[in-house]
Structure 1
Amino acid sequence: MGISVRRGPVVSAIAFVALAGMAAPAHAQMTSAIPPLEDPVVVNTEPPVEPEESGLVEDPADPEPLPEETGPPSKPGDKPSAEYCRPSRIYTPTSKGGQYHKAVGATNSNYNGTSRTARSTFTSEVTGEVGVGVTAGLETSIDVMVAKIEAKYEVNLTVKLTAKLGNSIAVDTPAKKTTNAKYGVYRLKHTGTSYVIYSNCNTSTKKKVTSYTPLKVGWYLWES
């Protein structure tokens, strides 16, 4: 009995030390957390680049659903028992480009006529929506196209974003320089191929489609 009574406190003390040793690193890890840094403000040397494509259609309407029995005229020699395909509208993304800024509202500018650096603050004065811009030839819906692009390139896009009234940004303007600011939506450029598969398994002509899809709301700044 004497031996059993004297061992109890020893085991409890060892367990207490072990638990204390395990708890210490977790406590230190929590207190040493560092908050993430904010994204730096980028001031460019040129105005935003416009899309290269002419005739860009903004927010195009989705095409009508294809009927089960559809297709181009049969070719000479086609057999009545030809293979059947489910009519489908196809879009396949092929490449990803850069970001293009589409402004909402007018350009704001501030000239610093002093001999020292001054602080310029810009505030958006309107609210506006920016959607998808696309060239001719898209045979599927905008939702399907965006989903295909997101899956292939692992990006988060949307069919529409709203740039809101009252958003502000502040930046330093060097002496004798002008800071220009546009508020709006950055859109990501993509190209892809679109066509239709008919019920007789023939396909329409494959067309190259270029699209600009909303990515994020923000300012574009440049000095002049």
Structure 2
Amino acid sequence: MVAPGHVLAADQGAAVSESGEPGVINTAPPAEPEETDLGPAPELEPLPEQTGKTPVDTPDGQYCGPTQRIYTPTSKGREYHKGVGVTHSNYNGTSRTGTSTFTSEVTGEVGVSVTAGLATSVDVMVAKLEAKYDVNLSVKLTAKQGNTWSVPTPPKTTTNAKYGVYRLKNTGTSYIIYSNCSTSAKKTVTSYTPIKVGWYVWES
């Protein structure tokens, strides 16, 4: 019998609440991200050729240096859990507290998801987020098969558990500034970036 709150597997996989607090049993399934236009990180189009000089056809024009892709974080949000594999459930029909043990059955990779408008690379965006909020993020994390979690289940209660990856929600502004100092349209970008692997556990 395993003590409650102990992770058996050697790889990552703690049970944490949706807000990121370890050891918390939730009262509802993990919330879905609010945005419906999430997608994988976009492929970036090549920037205009750089000459390092003011364009010859505009000798009096401003020069702001080489064209740059800009991303600025503006708001740190909550953590959202993205499950890998099925939801596990165990009902305790007895009058005593029992132990539910769950084991992940598949291996899955979870990456960054963003709304439209990111003008820079995901690597640059992640670096900006880490620097601003003093967090450790990843472009992708893998939830592995075979990770096991045990938790007490109260009488007449169902314990549910889902293994996967927690992603941190962020909002930022992204655009391109060109060598003549003009800019592309500034876009508000919402992103979900992997921060840790773990179980989301709730009772029903």
Q: Distance in 1 between matches of 2:198 and 2:130?
A: 21
Q: Determine whether 1:178 maps to 2:158.
A: yes
Q: Which runs of 5 or more residues in structure 2 are unaligned?
A: 1-15, 17-21, 52-56
Query: Using the alignment, how far apart are the partners of 2:173 and 2:163 within structure 1?
Result: 32
Query: In the TM superposition, what whole-angstrom CA distance separates every residue of 1:107-126 from its partner, at most 9, and x where no partner exists?
Result: 01001111111110000000
User: Contact 2:73 / 2:132 at 8 angstroms: preserved in 1?
Assistant: yes
Deviations 1:88-117 (A, max 9, x none): 110000111111000000101001111111
Q: Which residue of 1 aligns with 2:99?
A: 119
1:96 aligns with 2:96: no
Does structure 1 residue 67 correspond to structure 2 residue 22? no
In the alignment, the residues of structure 2 paired with residue 216 and residue 69 of structure 1 have an alpha-carbon distance, to the nearest angstrom, of: 39
Bigger Rg, which one:
1
Checking the alignment, whether the CA contact within 8 Å between 1:62 and 1:140 is kept in structure 2 is no
Give the aligned partner of residue 83 of structure 1. 62
Q: Could you list the runs of 5+ residues in structure 1 that have no partner in the other structure?
A: 1-38, 71-77
Q: Deviations over 1:138-195 (max 9, x none)?
A: 0000000000000111111010000000000000111111000000000111110000
User: 2 CA distance for matches of 1:45 and 1:185?
Assistant: 19
Q: Percent identity?
A: 73
Query: Partner amino acid for 2:42?
Result: A
More strand by share: 2
**1:205 Cα shift?**
1.1
Q: What is the alpha-carbon distance in structure 2 between the residues aligned to residue 102 and residue 90 of structure 1?
A: 28
For this pair of structures, how many residues does the alignment match? 178
Tell me if structure 1 keeps the 8 A contact 2:42–2:118: no
Deviation of 1:68 after TM superposition, in Å, equals 2.9
Letter in 1 for 2:60: S
Q: Encode CA deviations 1:19-54: one digit per residue, 9 max, x unaligned.
A: xxxxxxxxxxxxxxxxxxxx9522100110110111
The structure with the greater share of residues assigned to helix is 1
CA distance in 2 between partners of 1:41 and 1:204 (Å): 45
The residue number in structure 1 matching 2:197 is 217
Structure 2 length as normaliser, TM-score? 0.83
List, as ranges, runs of 4+ consecutive aligned residues in structure 1 with deviation greater than 4 Å.
none
Aligned partners of 1:126 and 1:179: how far apart in 2?
Answer: 20
- The correspondence for 2:37, drawn from 55, 71, 88, is 55
Q: Secondary structure at the match of 2:128?
A: helix
Q: CA RMSD in A?
A: 1.7
State the shift of 1:69 in Å.
5.4
Counterpart-to-counterpart distance in 2, 1:94 and 1:170? 38
Q: Which has the higher contact order (CA 8 A, sep 6+)?
A: 2
The whole-number CA distance in structure 2 between the counterparts of 1:148 and 1:178 is 41
Does the CA contact (< 8 Å) of 2:118 and 2:174 recur in 1?
A: yes
